[in-house]
Amino acid sequence: MRHCCEFKADDIYYLAETELYTYRKLSIGFCPQCGKPVAELYCQRFDGIIERVKYSGIKANELVMKYKDEIVYSMKECNYRKFKSKPYGWRYGINKSVKINGKERVKQYACDFYGNKEFIKLV
């Protein structure tokens, strides 16, 4: 079971504050050696004491199910929203020619490589 101590988290869930804890997060992932699910609960109390609990296997699944109702947001949700809202990262421009009231005008758009498009101006 020593190999289940180090794992790369697939997702991190941030939990709601309670009367005792100010900051709590639940990291879930899989052990790279044996492939078992691993969960780590990180809690910071009001007085500054940090508590960490790690479980693997069936106990990890039980830990996730126990705190499922207290999840505020997850890291994957934040990343998904960031990429699906406005153009992010590398951008390129698209110019489209349209006719408005018999005159030819150009619409300029900013686009990224994730499929997002944002209208910039009408020239």
Q: What pLDDT was estimated at residue 1?
A: 46
Residue listed under structure tokens 């809202």: 85
pLDDT for 45 beyond 50: yes
Q: How far is CA 116 from CA 77, 98, 119, 122, 123, in A?
A: 17, 21, 10, 19, 21
Strand order in the sheet with 103-112: 91-100, 103-112, 117-122
4 has pLDDT over 70: no
* Predicted pLDDT at 106: 92
The neighbouring-strand residues paired with 40 are 27, 54
Residue 88 has pLDDT above 70, yes or no: no
pLDDT at 81: 64
User: pTM, whole model, 2 decimals?
Assistant: 0.61
In the chain, % of residues over pLDDT 70: 86
